[in-house]
Structure 1
């Protein structure tokens, strides 16, 4: 497959104008274009939806997918938000009908939401307003609303000059130190968060974040067992109707303790689904969301940890299980809504790159290999049919180029980081 990447807006605009296929059906623009973007592109592309992919550099895995028609390298909204919005405005006139925006990381989502009115001439923003998203991402407002609904949450405070010395007393160790700006934090430290086990580490980690100009929140460390990571994922339409939902039990993360999911299994969790939906409805939320819960052994409660207001890393699992959240959103926007609330359970999703490293290092929540021989046989055969017991983040028989791109990224001298 020949992959053309456009490095400025005028090139991309002209390519879209000249492509007759992209004008046959309303297109979707995704960004960023790594693991999450790849799953979204496949979930929509297999339904015949035209996909345009953007990223801040040219090595995102979705750029190599056959389901992406056009690719553009655009300004990074973390450091050049207005330039990124101008890029979208510059290519906007190429679309014959409004293009749907579908971001995969907070920085892209927040920028699009913030400028949704300016973008509305050419684009459809199918998520809640900037104000609502900010409210949900702000732990103080999220946890306050959850408490009002009787949904348990962990203790937390924002780290400030005035409370810096008192926080270790209030929260004790180990303590989770989470960034306000997730992407900037990851770009700086190649980690999603810090875990401070003592006062010395707390002082060192807060000083590192301060030197980098990054704000932190300090959060109670929830003593969770290996079965206690459960996430509810949904699509809520503009009238807060629940159109799709799935519960996933996180089985492994990489790096250990502070990384992102590399193995997850679909399960049944109706009570947690009700809790997640109640919180989202309290914010009148619209869009795809991921609601993370941890089981606290101290008090026997599932505690709401985070809500991500956009697609996330393992969105390929609900898609494979029959709850294609991006397509549910697409159909609702096009006034052809349908509902999918009965996903397959007992199906796993794996990001093999990280899972293999985790097990080679003899680390993880579970000892040894969790996967069965039957699941490994499906992996080795790259099966992608609906009956398979496991789906892979990158490797796919019908779309093999992203796996090759991942190999080339690993072999390159130029580093490539993405927290998704």
Structure 2
């Protein structure tokens, strides 16, 4: 495992004496999602270099720097270190990655585990780095919600009622179809305001969606977005059926969606319950979700790992496509444990390695930190794990038997969970929840 989280120079020095018999994977970020990707690749003996930005206040001149992510102490990670955060300096990020690859003495395969990392690998296009996913133009088309919903309209894929707003049309990629007043009249309140592209919106507003309760609040948010030069849309607030959110977890190869490796997952439990991140996910049999998600990806010409997110609209009695994430995500370990090792399939597509799924089996994934918090703090929530599940979790037998796997917690690889416990009791935390 990586014995420390190194500075960029410290990592370059360490890699200069390393030997690799195959291209290492560059996994960024280095937290829960990155840990899941690292473990999936390590299961097939792929060396992993975890890259992330240094922790706040870190001395970047030192050999070792502060970092609160959970991936570096894992036995699945061979080396870990800091690079320039690409949203701060894309050229600096490119230079750091190229220097790291040069020191390793071999090409590498990049896995971006958050939008900014995946997009930055594609936009920076560092020499010596192979991308197991589509280029930046295709990523932009998929991540642009205006384009995404236009594709849904053309393909007959259900999505929430949405209007592109005239007040921010100058920054948009498609023509507006409503004023603020027209959208308010059509959708009623509350409604949600979403950006075409969430990265700039998140930087400006600290979130990727804003729910507004009345006309005045709606107009204020749209005006603020216009001032920032960000195109936004108004969307109907969906009466979501709790526990029925589903996603298609997939790897689509360059040959197209007919050869996709895919699993439908049901986010049965979120923490917090109605709007948080998934903490219990189960495989599900929903052919329409697979069909609709792959149709959208195929139309965009996207290849790579992705999660297509659907919610169930109780009023319309159908699943609606909300978003597509063109990268791994928090519960990437569920499809891996079910028999669809998406990271390994992606790695094999750009290297001499081979991978073939032996079939998909029923599987559940639990993130115990959030699941236990929900049990302890929400009297209305009833435990959905059985006594046998808990025995297997506590004993570690779940790693060898049964249909349950866990995010972070793994007795055979204990250091990430130990670090999670350590950071729970200090006034410091990693910069994202996944």
Report if TM-score (shorter chain) is over 0.5: yes
Choose the corresponding residue for 2:98, options 82, 89, 105: 89
Separation (CA, whole Å) in 2 of partners of 1:270 and 1:375: 28
Are the equivalent residues in 1 in contact too, given 2:309–2:323 (CA < 8 A)? yes
Shift, 1:11, TM fit: 2.0
Contact 2:248 2:289 (8 Å CA) reproduced: yes
Q: 1:172 aligns with which of 169, 188, 205?
A: 188
With over 3 angstroms needed to count, the CA separation of the structure-2 counterparts of 1:333 and 1:53, relative to structure 1, is same
Structure 2 unmatched ranges of 5 or more:
55-66, 169-178
Counterpart residue number, 1:17 = 16
Q: Are 1:245 and 2:262 an aligned pair?
A: yes
Q: Deviations over 1:72-120 (max 9, x none)?
A: 112222222222122112222123331000110000111111122xx2x
Are 1:107 and 2:116 an aligned pair?
yes
Equivalent-residue separation in structure 2 for 1:357 and 1:211 (angstroms): 39
Match of 2:3 in 1: 3
- How far is 1:34 from its partner? 0.7
Count of residues in correspondence between the two structures: 411
1:7-41 CA deviation, whole Å, 9 max, x = no partner? 12x32122112123xx1222100000111000000
Superposed CA offset, 1:137-178 (max 9, x none): 011111111221111111224566464454433322232334
3-state SS of paired residue (1:154): coil
Asked if structure 2 preserves the Cα contact closer than 8 Å seen for 1:78 and 1:184, the reply is no
- Which is further off, 408-417 or 32-41? 408-417
**Of 36, 39, 53, which residue of structure 2 is paired with 1:39?**
36
Aligned residue in 1 for 2:138: 132
Does the 8 A contact of 1:187 with 1:417 survive in 2? Answer: no
Quick one: which of 330, 333, 341 aligns to 1:324? Answer: 341
1:269 matches 2:283 = no
Gap regions ≥5 residues in structure 1: none
Equivalents in 1 of 2:274, 2:206: separation in Å? 14
CA distance in 2, matches of 1:192, 1:262: 20
TM-score, reference length from structure 2: 0.86
Indicate if the aligned counterparts of 2:167 and 2:226 stay in contact, CA closer than 8 A. no
Partner of 1:413: 427
Q: Distance in 2 between matches of 1:247 and 1:319?
A: 12
What is the aligned partner in structure 2 of residue 358 from structure 1?
Answer: 374
SS in 2 for 1:100: strand
- For 1:187 and 1:392, the matched residues in 2 are separated by 31
Q: Compared with structure 1, are the counterparts of its residues 4 and 173 closer, same or farther at alpha carbon in structure 2 (3 Å cutoff)?
A: same
Distance in 1 between residues matched to 2:229 and 2:410, nearest whole Å: 40
